[in-house]
Structure 1
Amino acid sequence: MTLLDSSVGYLYGHHLFVDAGVPVYFVRANTTTASGASTTNSFTDLGDIYGQVRLSFPSPVLNFKTQFTGRAPTGSTSDGISTGHATYDWTNRIDRDFGDWTPFLEVGLANSIPDTFVYRRPFASYGELGHFQAGAAYHVVSWLSVAASAFDVAPWGSQTTDSRVLGNGSGASAGHGPPFLQGHQTTGGSSLAADNGFSAGLDLSPTKAIDFTVGYSRSTHYDLNTISFGIAVNMRAILRHPGL
């Protein structure tokens, strides 16, 4: 699964930032019919359009950020890109620099596991939950940093997951495995969307305009290993400094 996410934002003073974005997903999915025949399909889908508001309060004692994200159900439900519901996420973060080290703690409330939480999951979820992450970043040099963290997703109440790796119409598997490999859509209790594990990543910023990221995540709940690569391009920096 590949994601292309474009966004535009505006910074008001030193504390308030607002932005909106449109994600596009490129997915390779498997479909299994009732007779057991399996096919692989590749598709491109628009994701849920989103808007964000972030408040930042830097301090020598403790840095604090709070961010609210709202998403409209514009993505495909049949392909597992969207839950078909409006979703929200409210995440709060505190951190402090100790020389080259920056320990941090994040606590959030949402009604869907955020796509940006640690790693991009092979399913979309819908249901109330809390998510937590604690770790530390180390700034090796000005343009290179590494980080490691532990995370937990703690849902409550009814939960629904829509698989992004099984096409709509896929029959249930006779084997064992996580819900997103058993059928296209699954509804159950709080344990359905629960997750926990750890992650590590590297952030390389050779210029002000481009960031490269490499990440590894281990979900102990789903017995899932995920490796991700990312490139972020800051058009504002390019337009202001064409030589970057």
Structure 2
Amino acid sequence: MKPGLIKFLLSIATMAVSFQVQAHTPNLPEPEKGMTEVETFQGTLNSEGKLVKLDSNIGYDFNRHFGVFAGVPLYFTGVPNSTTSTNAAASNNGATGGIGNIHLGMNFRAPSPALNYASTITVGAPTGNRKDGLSTGRASIDWSNYFDRSFDKFTPFFEAGLGNGVPDSRLVTHPFSSLGALGHFEEGAEYELIHHFAVGGSGYHDVPFGDQEVFSKLVHEGQGNGGGPGRSHGGAFENNFLSTGAGIDRENGVNTWVAFEPNRVLRTQIGYSRSVTFDLNSFSFNVGLNVGKMVRAKKNQ
């Protein structure tokens, strides 16, 4: 394993440990209203490069069913140093970073032992740098719906959404931004092995409608060879900054993960994703810290 990758993984582990220490709170009933803050640190590593995202969201819950939020993501992108690769992204030999689209949203929650349901509407402003693929230069909108039900230690779930771009998920940080109507779906389940530890798996599907535009985060504007995918079944985003056409961001894949959730404010995941469409294997991580829930619990002591 390369020394740079080892340092990168060690930094993730260090951050996860520090989050665990900060997140220790007594097991008290949660308030139903108040300020919210969720910090998420996630990333994806594969042969095309590494993508890291820090997403900060602050909001307010009016009650246990309805809340609003605003957030801003920070992206860091690195491509492998290689002089033999035919991938145009590899010739960049560098790292870039910047903010993505600042977003506003509202969520509705209907918790129930029979079936948990949550719905989120998110609207984004085109504040990200289009030349780095961090934005399409157009406003974004997404409506996502999530369902789950627990059967003892086994929890199946289903998520379905509509939007005008492919959204990131917990374990998939996409190497591109897209513009065009599409539906996104994920179905899977999680099983609690022992207290605080769980394993899970899911399948995901991005289904575009009509013409699409894809802006690569791996190839900057003015770079690329103008050709098709750099590998057999690879994505056009590997060699081109901007790609257009019907269905070019269609994707089907699978995820597997191990999760550690020591309390109600911290959750860490390490996983593997396989994009069947783009013939790409990725290792991913996600560290989520619910600062708002931690603060509200302390105030309720």
Same fold (TM over 0.5): yes
The amino acid across from 2:97 in the alignment is: T
Q: Give 3-state SS (helix, strand or coil) of 1:125's partner.
A: strand
> 1:16 Cα shift?
0.9
Of 232, 238, 251 in structure 2, the residue corresponding to residue 195 of structure 1 is: 251
Counterpart Cα distance in 2 of 1:227 and 1:241: 35
The residue aligned with 1:124 is 177
Q: Give 3-state SS (helix, strand or coil) of 1:92's partner.
A: strand
Counterpart Cα distance in 1 of 2:116 and 2:267: 23
After superposition, residues 128-139 of structure 1 pair within 5 angstroms as 128-139=181-192
Counterpart Cα distance in 2 of 1:214 and 1:48: 26
Instruction: Mark the runs of 5 or more structure 1 residues left unpaired by the alignment.
Output: none
Q: Give 3-state SS (helix, strand or coil) of 2:93's partner.
A: strand
Instruction: Mark the runs of 5 or more structure 2 residues left unpaired by the alignment.
Output: 1-50
The residue aligned with 1:78 is 131
Counterpart Cα distance in 2 of 1:94 and 1:238: 25
Cα distance change of structure 1 residues 130 and 117 upon mapping to structure 2, 3 Å threshold: farther
Counterpart Cα distance in 2 of 1:111 and 1:74: 16
Counterpart Cα distance in 2 of 1:154 and 1:138: 28
The residue aligned with 1:225 is 281
The residue aligned with 2:242 is 185
Percent of pairs identical after alignment? 37
Of 245, 248, 262 in structure 2, the residue corresponding to residue 206 of structure 1 is: 262
The residue aligned with 2:10 is none
The residue aligned with 1:94 is 147
Counterpart Cα distance in 2 of 1:181 and 1:151: 21
The answer to whether 1:66 aligns with 2:119 is: yes
CA contact (8 A) 2:216 2:237 kept: yes
Cα distance change of structure 1 residues 241 and 143 upon mapping to structure 2, 3 Å threshold: farther
Counterpart Cα distance in 2 of 1:121 and 1:182: 15
> 1:173 Cα shift?
5.8
Counterpart Cα distance in 1 of 2:92 and 2:111: 52
> 1:118 Cα shift?
4.9
The answer to whether 1:21 aligns with 2:21 is: no
Q: Give 3-state SS (helix, strand or coil) of 1:38's partner.
A: helix
> 1:154 Cα shift?
0.8
> 1:73 Cα shift?
0.5
Would you say how many aligned residue pairs link Structure 1 and Structure 2? 238
The residue aligned with 1:12 is 62
Q: Which has the higher helix share?
A: 2
Counterpart Cα distance in 1 of 2:195 and 2:123: 33
The residue aligned with 2:214 is 161
